[in-house]
């Protein structure tokens, strides 16, 4: 079945331009595509491979060496006198569940055991050399795989040192990652390794949405006929990519353009020098794409819009984007470029690129941006609104006063959170088997090797030394008469590894009137924001439950997007009675459902309250019984005691005792004394497990 044509994609101008610039100059460093689901992210990436020119390769080389300049260190070399062939550019997709062996390659175990030969089995990085490596949902990929991937992309080669194998091979590819921010962010260090980033969103213009549906239905009905209708536009863009590649080495990046790039990066206070280098390469690619031999100010501006937004995010709560007014003020300080004579107008291509129903909305062939990068004229209807400067102060939300539930005191205005701070580690006791992360100890597929055991089911990670030791004593009995080792299934040993896992951190926050003093609630929100930031850095899922009035509410179902939790926290209203038991029971129900969805992810319950319970008869007794239900289920818990004032009732401490976990004050989250909190959590949980076994 034919691939959906690149030029048939409606709108998404920034996405198409960023992909084409990387096709012209892979040195730009790839592109990260951020956006909601259903916005043609994957479709555009898969369609790009059909636009790339054929790749000449050495016959029989598994690493796609170029016959004109083969890699002298290629594991399949030397290639002197080898034949040549041409093949279409590859698009290699990295699955979310891929192992490190599958990515970088590993020792060929079968040949090693059968023939006694150390042979290297290439991975996906070798397959992607001189092509496209596509990672869908890159934010869900394990951190160590992302590190390996981006290191190879930056260096243009992959180094493998493992299991007695030492290999280096070329790995030059166009790296494209897509992600939905609602499912969690990449760490800033990893964001910086992508050359460009674009934000995509579905068009709000009805005519464009109609055109998207029309083209998709036509493609689904007859993919080959649809591809034929767009073949002319595809060929035009393919020729333009080839011409831009040929022009690229001749493009001049003058001192004036370099000063503009440096001024922009300094003005936006981006960290390091990678942004300057990426902007320079992008500006050169933009000039080549426009058919010019010199970089102009407009190229620098467009390069900044593509290369800087993700580098301004220093924590997950910063809004992505770039202040275009500041960008223009910086560039206005430099003289304008000399005007060029207007080029002769190009004839419009026949077929779908005309102004008919299949014509591109941007005036170029099949919707490809016209020469010169960003088009002139009004902004397209589906372009995202320019974000506000993250440093600019925002007005405090002031919701209108409302009557509380059941005729209670009116709801108070939302309070802005205090500045977040660094917290110490809270972890779940024991040894888990959950998703890879950075919080609690766990048996993982990656991490330090702690031993070996017989495989339980399918062998996934061979412990070579332990396997050889198990097979060695039986060689004479097995009739070995020559070199090599006779290995049987019973000799195979699985490597046992220990690393860190991510957990489900469920926050239960008291938003009642007893917690609503503005200064105190700001401190409470600042503490929760600090814990959210810690959860983001440790790759946890987070959920948020609030309770006030007469009920509890799941304000945020468990998610990997901590910035969504921070947004909900910022708008959290306060006031009313304190239904503490309702909050705890709601937490028990949420954890029960999440346990069914993801049994391997262990929860950590963080209850933020002063311990008061004032909703309903025997409110404190009901809260105590609810807490003991959670303790009986083995849930690791921590109570953040928010009580203040000269007279303290110690109710939060009693709640912590019922939950079987420690209590810590707001100030204690910052203090060195919290270092003992992890031990307290483990001890309390061990007591809970012992009590359940005894029962």
Closest CA to 634 of 586, 681, 582: 681
Closest CA to 267 of 220, 209, 311: 311
Count of H-run helices and E-run strands, the chain: 21, 19
Q: Enumerate the β-bridge partners of residue 32.
A: 177, 197
Q: Which residue is listed with tokens 């970088």?
A: 104
Phi-psi region of 527 (alpha: psi -120 to 50; beta: other; left: phi over 0): alpha
Distance of CA 306 to the CA centre of its chain: 18
Determine whether 121 is exposed, middle or buried from the number of CB atoms within 10 Å of its CB (0-12, 13-18, 19+): middle
Joined together, the tokens standing for residue 334 give: 């430099």
Q: Which residue is listed with tokens 């992607």?
A: 128
Q: SS3 of 132, please?
A: strand
Greatest distance between any 2 Cα atoms in the chain: 91
Q: Please say if 245 is a catalytic residue.
A: no
**Count of C-beta atoms within a 10 Å radius of residue 441:** 16
What is the per-residue burial (b if ≥16 Cβ within 10 Å, else e) of 404-435? bbeebeebbbbbebbebeebbebbbbeebebb
Return all residues near 17 (Cβ < 8 A) that are at least 6 apart: 302, 306, 369, 373, 374
Distance of alpha carbon 167 from alpha carbon 60, whole angstroms: 18
Asked if 202 and 18 count as a contact pair (C-beta separation under 8 A), the reply is no
Closest CA to 502 of 447, 539, 544, 543: 539
Asked if 656 and 662 count as a contact pair (C-beta separation under 8 A), the reply is yes
Q: Enumerate the β-bridge partners of residue 443.
A: 498
Q: Which of 274, 443, 588, 625 is labelled catalytic? A: 274
Joined together, the tokens standing for residue 359 give: 């014509």
How far apart, in Å, are the Cα atoms of 112 and each of 120, 471, 485?
10, 14, 9
Following DSSP, what letter does each residue of 588-652 receive, concatenated? Answer: HHHHHHHHHH-TTS-EEEEEEE-----SSTTHHHHHHHHHHHHHHTT-EEEEEE---SSS---HH
Asked if 574 and 547 count as a contact pair (C-beta separation under 8 A), the reply is no
Distance of alpha carbon 66 from alpha carbon 55, whole angstroms: 8
DSSP 8-state symbol, 658: H
Q: Point out the residues that are catalytic.
A: 274
């Amino acid at each position: 079945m034919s691939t959906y044509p690149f030029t048939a994609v409606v709108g998404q101008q920034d996405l198409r331009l960023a992909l084409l610039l990387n096709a012209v100059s892979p040195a730009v460093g790839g592109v990260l595509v951020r956006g909601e689901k259903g916005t043609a992210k994957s479709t555009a990436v898969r369609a790009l491979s059909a636009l790339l020119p054929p790749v000449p390769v050495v016959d029989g080389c598994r690493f796609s060496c170029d016959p004109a300049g083969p890699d002298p260190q290629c594991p399949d070399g030397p290639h002197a006198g080898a034949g040549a062939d041409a093949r279409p550019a590859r698009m290699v997709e990295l699955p979310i569940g891929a192992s490190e062996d599958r990515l970088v390659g590993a020792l060929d175990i079968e040949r090693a055991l059968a023939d006694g030969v150390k042979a290297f089995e290439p991975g996906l990085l070798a397959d992607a050399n001189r092509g496209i490596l596509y990672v869908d949902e890159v934010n869900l990929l394990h951190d160590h795989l992302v590190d390996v991937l981006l290191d190879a992309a930056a260096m243009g080669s992959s180094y493998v040192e493992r299991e007695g194998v030492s290999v280096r091979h070329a790995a030059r590819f166009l790296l494209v990652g897509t992600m939905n921010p609602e499912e969690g962010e990449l760490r800033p260090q990893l964001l910086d390794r992508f050359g460009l980033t674009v934000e995509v969103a579905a068009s709000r213009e009805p005519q464009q949405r109609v055109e998207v549906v029309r083209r998709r239905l036509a493609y689904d009905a007859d993919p080959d006929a649809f591809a034929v209708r767009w073949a002319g536009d595809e060929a035009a863009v393919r020729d333009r990519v080839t011409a831009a590649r040929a022009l690229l080495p001749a493009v001049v990046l003058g001192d004036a353009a370099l000063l503009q790039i440096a001024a922009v990066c300094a003005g936006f206070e981006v960290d390091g020098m990678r942004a300057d280098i990426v902007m320079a390469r992008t500006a050169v690619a933009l000039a080549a794409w426009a058919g010019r031999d010199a970089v102009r100010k407009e190229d620098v501006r467009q390069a900044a819009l593509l290369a800087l937004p993700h580098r301004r995010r220093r924590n997950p709560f910063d809004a992505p984007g770039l202040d275009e007014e500041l960008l223009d003020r910086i560039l206005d300080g430099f003289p304008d470029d000399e005007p060029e004579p207007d080029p002769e107008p190009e004839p419009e291509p026949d077929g779908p690129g005309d102004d008919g129903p299949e014509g591109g909305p941007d005036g170029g062939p099949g919707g490809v941006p016209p020469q010169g990068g960003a088009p002139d004229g009004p902004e397209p209807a589906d372009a995202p609104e320019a974000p506000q400067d993250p440093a600019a102060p925002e007005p405090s939300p002031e919701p209108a006063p409302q009557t509380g539930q059941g005729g209670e005191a009116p709801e108070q205005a939302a309070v802005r959170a205090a500045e977040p701070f660094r917290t110490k580690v809270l972890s779940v006791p024991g040894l888990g088997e959950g998703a890879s992360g950075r919080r609690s100890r766990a048996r993982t597929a990656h991490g330090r090797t702690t031993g070996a055991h017989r495989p339980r089911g399918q062998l996934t990670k061979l412990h070579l030394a332990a396997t050889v030791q198990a097979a060695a004593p039986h060689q004479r009995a097995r009739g070995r008469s020559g070199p090599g080792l006779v290995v049987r299934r019973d000799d195979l040993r699985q490597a046992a590894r220990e690393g860190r896992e991510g957990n489900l951190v469920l926050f239960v926050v008291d938003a009642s009137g007893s917690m609503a003093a503005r200064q105190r609630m700001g401190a409470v929100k600042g503490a929760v924001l600090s814990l959210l930031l810690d959860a983001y850095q440790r790759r946890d899922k987070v959920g948020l439950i609030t309770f006030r009035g007469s009920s509890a509410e799941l304000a945020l179902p468990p998610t990997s997007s901590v910035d969504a939790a921070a947004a909900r926290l910022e708008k959290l209203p306060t006031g009313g009675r304190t239904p503490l038991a309702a909050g705890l029971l709601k937490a028990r129900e949420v954890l029960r459902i999440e346990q069914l969805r993801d049994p391997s992810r262990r929860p950590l319950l963080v209850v933020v309250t002063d311990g008061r319970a004032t909703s309903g008869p025997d409110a404190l007794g009901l809260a105590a019984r609810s807490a003991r239900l959670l303790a009986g289920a083995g849930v690791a818990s921590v109570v953040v005691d928010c009580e203040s004032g000269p007279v303290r009732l110690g109710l939060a401490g009693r709640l912590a005792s019922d939950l079987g976990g420690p209590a810590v004050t707001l100030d204690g989250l910052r203090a060195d004394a919290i270092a003992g909190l992890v031990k307290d959590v483990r001890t309390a949980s061990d007591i809970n497990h012992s009590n359940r076994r005894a029962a």
